Amino acid sequence: MNTNNELILPKVSVSTPIYSLTSFTLLDYPHKSACILWFAGCNMRCLYCYNPEIVLGKGSLSFEKILSFLHTRKNLLDAVVFSGGECLLHKKIISFITEVKKMGFLVKIDTNGSSPEVMQELLSKNRIDYIALDFKAPKSKFKAITKSNLYDTFEKTFDLILQAKIPFEVRTTYHSELLLEEDLKEMIRFLESKNYSGNYYIQYFKNDVETLSKLERSNNRIDAEKLSTNTIQIVLRE
């Protein structure tokens, strides 16, 4: 029994950490062709998560198998997207990414921002070309939505990415029952307090799909122009 109210993570095999592979996409790395590696396991339990089978499941693919696949895609794909789950949790992720970079691919990381030490090492070694950082919720609602106490590590990761000055995006999944307009304004104020400027992507929750928790339908209506500021442009994604 867990008596410390800590999230118990599923054990993910180091030898087969990857749940599945999307062999081709033009949507997940801006203006590049890519494949996606979906790493099993996550240290958050976001209520709206679309990938419960990945978050709660086990990996089935070894990185050796993925490297073999990537050798066949040299000069055909531009990039490899490391996603999940939470890819940066895995013990060998830095060596995995290093091998992919050696093969000449661009690397994009999709992350919840909970592993600042790993992020710092990857950034210091110039192993990342693009980052998508999930901004789950304002601090006041972070624990309720993610079922974790990882807001401070998210903020540390955000600070590291800002300092690194590499291309990245900040994105939030919006469900009308979880986040109010005032919550979004609070999140925008946080970004401004960090001197962030540029696009802030808000992804509408997809109704009628399986999620980690059973949720009511989301009323997906946001006035992007009203929420945008002089420095931050709200960009809506369906």
Instruction: Say if 222 falls within a structural domain.
Output: yes
The verdict on residue 7 lying in a domain is no
Mean pLDDT, consecutive 10-residue stretches, the chain (238 aa), reads 44 80 97 98 96 94 97 97 97 97 98 98 98 98 98 98 96 97 98 97 94 92 96 95
Pairing of strands 198-204, 232-237: parallel
**Sheet hosting strand 106-111, strand order edge to edge:** 18-25, 34-39, 79-84, 106-111, 130-134, 168-174, 198-204, 232-237
The answer to whether position 152 is within a domain reads yes
pTM of the complete model: 0.93
**Within a domain: residue 107?**
yes
CB-side neighbour CA atoms (13 Å) of 11: 2
- pLDDT value at residue 28: 97
Structural domain of residue 208, as residue ranges? 18-237
Q: Which pLDDT score, from 0 to 100, does residue 220 have? A: 85
Give which of 106, 81, 77 is closest to 18, Cα–Cα: 81
CATH code of 224's domain: 3.20.20.70
- Please check whether residue 126 lies inside any domain of the structure: yes
Q: What is the pLDDT of residue 5?
A: 41
Which pLDDT score is estimated for 197? 96
Count how many domains the chain has.
1
Residue 13 is assigned to a structural domain of this protein: no
pLDDT at 172: 98
Report the distance separating Cα 23 and Cα 233, nearest Å.
32
Residue 55 and residue 101 in contact, taking contact as beta carbons nearer than 8 Å: no
Q: Is residue 11 part of a domain?
A: no
